[in-house]
Amino acid sequence: MRLAIIGAGINGIMSGWALLEEGHDVVMFEQADPMGATSSASTKLLHGGLRYLEHGDFALVREGLRARAWWLERAPQHTRSIEIAIPVYRDSARSRLTLKAGLVAYEFLAGRYRLGGHYWLNGTDLLQRVPHLRSNGLRGAYLFQDGQMNDRALGNWALSQIVGMGAEVVSPVYVERIDTDGVVVTSQGKQKFDGVINACGPWAAALLQRSNVSSRHGLDLIRGSHLLVARRHECGFLVESPDDARPCFVLPYEGYTLIGTTEVRQALDEPIECSEQEIAYLSRVYEAFFDDKLEPAGVVSTFAGVRPLVASAEREVSAMTRESAIECQGRILTIFGGKWTTSRELGLRVAIMAHDWN
Ligand SMILES: Cc1cc2nc3c(=O)[nH]c(=O)nc-3n(C[C@H](O)[C@H](O)[C@H](O)COP(=O)(O)OP(=O)(O)OC[C@H]3O[C@@H](n4cnc5c(N)ncnc54)[C@H](O)[C@@H]3O)c2cc1C
């Protein structure tokens, strides 16, 4: 079949990968730079997501941990394993026991794809390793292994793989409308395909709306921002925000430290950028755990992306906690949501659903 993919973020690229493996022809339309939107504004973790365990989403965590192994093995040049410390204080919202249970479950779910066992460091040993960590009330920390990537470079590597397999990338071209017979309308004209994959990330629901195609799912758009600061840390940290106890990451990244992330409701017509309030929130996170003050000049850059969270008409079902959904309307498959780490699995599901178009 000849298939169109709208959107060259990681979900579009990995859908293309799976469809090419099945012998289809793939044409990708991208309005701006491939890998230039949400997929290069992530926290850069290849992970199962420890926090999903708090919601009992074991299947999701397991899928993420297996997917992590796939990326680490396939593209070691853009990925690595990273040690992350979870400091425990007298006033931490999550107790040592809760964290221990979470880490045991995390490693159990990884099975043979486990990256290494977690361990406990008491306060004295931890401060020897990280002297500028806040010592007041410190009990110690759990340290565990997870995956880290350069998201843009890894996504571009995946893109080069699918171009090598024969994908055609048409960019920059804005897709105005699609229809359920497989027609794609751009400023350059109309083209008919055997099927269309709507992989527009945060813009997926808007494309359907513009095309007058109704869907059961929608998207809640939540911005997440990060700071890149001129600090060097040997390992990563998963800490609780002093404002609301949300988990935040402080991670070594490309010679800097990455701090994130926030959760702010976002409209599609607003600029996707880190606000002053978010800079202040993330600085407070950092300064609550490390002795050095973050001067404004220490912030090298900021970036923001919009999480496309699946919202369903059937609100009472577990749909709100689902990371992704793929909905079919005639010859359109729309991807709602999805994590970077599990984009390969999402792509494989897209390819299976596309069988129905044969
Ligand atoms: C703050 C934040 C942190 C995250 N951290 C992690 C993490 O650490 N690990 C993890 O696994 N996941 C993480 N995620 C989730 C992950 O980044 C996203 O789920 C994933 O990148 C979404 O990819 P996508 O391809 O669906 O969307 P995008 O990357 O946004 O791609 C969609 C593409 O479609 C294009 N497009 C849109 N409309 C049109 C149109 N009309 N015509 C042509 N092209 C169009 C856009 O330009 C864009 O390039 C994070 C997300 C956020 C927001």
Q: How far is the CA of 142 from the centre of ligand 1 (A)?
A: 31
Distance 38 CA to ligand 1 centre (A): 3
Ligand 1: residues with CB < 6 A are 6-12, 29-32, 36-39, 41-45, 174-175, 199-203, 207, 224, 261, 305-307, 338-341
pLDDT digits (tens, 9 = 90+) for 217-258: 989 999 999 999 998 899 999 999 999 989 999 999 999 999
- Each residue's pLDDT, cut to its tens digit, for the chain (358 residues) gives 999 999 999 999 999 999 999 999 999 999 999 999 999 999 999 999 998 898 888 999 999 999 999 999 999 999 999 999 999 999 998 999 999 999 999 999 999 999 999 999 999 999 999 999 999 999 999 999 999 999 999 999 999 999 999 999 999 999 999 999 999 999 889 999 999 999 999 999 999 999 999 999 989 999 999 999 998 899 999 999 999 989 999 999 999 999 999 999 999 999 999 999 999 999 999 999 998 888 777 899 999 999 988 886 654 433 344 589 999 999 999 999 999 999 999 999 999 999 999 8
pLDDT digits (tens, 9 = 90+) for 80-118: 999 999 999 999 989 999 999 999 999 999 999 999 999
Write the burial class of residue 342 (CB in 10 Å: 0-12 exposed, 13-18 middle, 19+ buried): buried
Which of 38, 78, 211, 335 to probe ligand 1 with, by most ligand atoms within 8 A of CB? 38
Ligand 1 atom with the shortest distance to the CA of 13: 25
Q: Which atom of ligand 1 is nearest to the CA of 12?
A: 25
Alpha carbon separation from 4 to 17, 20, 193, 196, 197 (Å, rounded): 13, 12, 6, 5, 6
Distance 227 CA to ligand 1 centre (A): 18
Q: Which two tokens stand for residue 349?
A: 């599901």
Q: How far apart are CA 296 and CA 136, in angstroms?
A: 25
Query: At CA 219, angle to CA 215 and CA 222, rounded to 5?
Result: 175
One CATH from 3.40.50.1470, 2.40.50.140, 3.40.50.720, 3.50.50.60 for 1-44+150-216+313-358: 3.50.50.60
- Ligand 1: residue of 17, 35, 39 to mutate (most ligand atoms within 8 A of CB) is 39
**Model's pTM, two decimal places?**
0.95
Residue 24 CB-density burial (10 A; 0-12 exposed, 13-18 middle, 19+ buried): buried
How far is CA 152 from its chain centroid? 12
- Distance in Å, CA 9 to ligand 1 centroid: 6
What single string gives the DSSP state of each residue in 32-49? Answer: S-TT-SGGGSS--EES--
d(CA 11, ligand 1 centre) in Å: 7
Q: Ligand 1 centre and the CA of 201: distance in Å?
A: 5
